[in-house]
Structure 1
Amino acid sequence: MHFPTWAIAGFWGLISGSALLIGAALGYFTRVPQRLIAAIMAFGSGVLISTLSLDLMEEAYEKGGFDATAIGFVGGAAAYTLANWVLARYGAKHRKRSGEHQNEERQAVQAGKTESSDSGDDNGMALAIGALLDGIPESIVIGLSMLAGGAVSTVAVVAIFLSNLPEGLSSAAGMKKAGRSPQYVLLLWAGIMVISGIASLLGYTVFSGFSANVVAATTAVAAGAVLAMIADTMIPEAFDVAHNFTGLITVLGFLVSFVLSKLGE
């Protein structure tokens, strides 16, 4: 049975976004060791860096040249940084982090030390909005990766899945401490997973009719946003827990992504 390409794009967006729901369930009902979360962060960072540098930026440059690529790349990073700064003021600075950082930020929100209400649940909602901020550019990348030949970038899906898993873990744990029910938490993250699938679908359908320069700039925007996200949220958590092993684990993630991309050629 042959499925249309747009449906396949949406499906892979759902798969990558499902890590948020899986992580949320694990974070709510179990206690996952911080070292394991940190290792996933570091490995996923390496995979993402490889994907955006070897695939996304190269593809953007080939389609739109240096100007469109550079403007999109810096613009994506700037837009992400601005939105991330706003969310940080509402208690989502450490949304991909766990343990002490999550607890300290939640206590700051409750004490009114951040510009938020007095409820820890607002912190949890900010974490969820932050997941959308991180997930939408990543999911669009999946759709854009299918524009060239109709085949999904397996490396991109794996990388995004690995970056989403710890986010669901830490955010759901925060919502649990704020008193939210498991139904609320799981439905919320299921909704974000669906939005990830829609973003991937739109990444393919919306931009398939645009010029090469527009597609190139959009690809670079997504790449810039993802790299800013890695630097702001993933690497700090990985280093905070894994310390001296962070570099090695990140390199291994980069290598795995590099090998997979070459095997797919």
Structure 2
Amino acid sequence: MTGDLPTAFVSALAIGALAALPLMLGAWLALRRSLPGRLVGLVAAFGAGALICAITFELVLDAVARGGPVALGFWLAAGAIAYFLGSELLERRVRSGAAASRGIAILMGAMLDGIPESFILGLSIATGTGLSVPFLLAVVISNFPEGMASAAELRGQPGFSDRRILVMWGIVIAVSALAAAVGATVSASGNAGAVAAAEAFAAGALLTMLIDDLVPEARERGGLGAGLVSVMGFAVAFVLHQIGR
């Protein structure tokens, strides 16, 4: 696998950027026109369901097969704690009330979400099993409403022009691409324990993000139908997973 590292590295960079691109697309749409909040919520609900399925079948099962249940539990908890602590720091910045602080918090929050997602995409590229289409789909769908909601909040704030907001998302895309490349590098090392730890750590972080951020946003904006749409997202991701086996 080491000889294929340059190719995997470049491929991971491209896929990581592609998966994060809906953040900018969603932000661009929110800056150009006001989309119905219910539509944003239902898209977020579909993405949440797809992401739950992808985490379960693409990350957790693979991590336990590579590293065992004890290691899985440890790294799941570590990822959840790391995400919680990062979110807590960002929440304090948001409570400061300054527009600049909110903008930085949104930027860092998107990176906090995107790094484990992109890292896992990089892992899947370099393991030899090929790109995980269900996981890629889940990431793309969940990123779209996040970009929309964040840009809508920043629009009109002092010091945040449309151009600056889009540049912020460009930074997030670049960081996500680098995270995917790092994931490909870890996977190409051939260390099964390291891959299992990375998968479980990312799964813990993503599950915490889902419960703290994406699911509440989907329910608040999407209303009662959010749960139904979320199950549909899970079903679509599961079907894709089974087809790709």
**Aligned residue-pair number:** 240
For 2:70, which of 67, 70, 76 is the aligned residue? 67
- Which 5+ residue runs of structure 2 have no aligned equivalent? none
SS in 1 for 2:155: helix
Normalised by the length of structure 1, the TM-score is: 0.86
For 2:142, which of 141, 163, 184 is the aligned residue? 163
- Give 1:227 shift: 0.6
Paired residues for 1:17-96 under 5 Å: 17-91=20-94
Structure 2 counterpart of 1:228, which letter? T
Match of 2:218 in 1: 238
1-side partners of 2:153 and 2:190: how far apart?
41
Match of 2:171 in 1: 191
- Give 1:146 shift: 2.1
- Give 1:210 shift: 5.3
2-side partners of 1:131 and 1:10: how far apart?
18
Over 3 Å counting, the alpha-carbon distance change for 1:174 and 1:242 in structure 2 is closer
Normalised by the length of structure 2, the TM-score is: 0.93
Deviations 1:38-87 (A, max 9, x none): 00111001000000111100110111111211111111011101111111
Paired residues for 1:94-133 under 5 Å: 114=95, 116=96, 119-133=98-112
Moved over 3 A (4+): none
1-side partners of 2:66 and 2:209: how far apart?
24
Match of 2:12 in 1: 9
- Give 1:148 shift: 2.5
CA RMSD of aligned residues (A): 1.6
- Give 1:121 shift: 2.5
Deviations 1:170-218 (A, max 9, x none): 2122222213112211111112111111111111113421521111011
Match of 1:145 in 2: 124
Structure 2 counterpart of 1:10, which letter? L
**205-214 vs 244-253, greater mean Cα deviation:** 205-214
- Which 5+ residue runs of structure 1 have no aligned equivalent? 92-113
- Give 1:242 shift: 2.5
| Higher helix proportion (structure 1 or 2) | 2
2-side partners of 1:77 and 1:22: how far apart?
28
Deviations 1:104-124 (A, max 9, x none): xxxxxxxxxx2x2x5213212
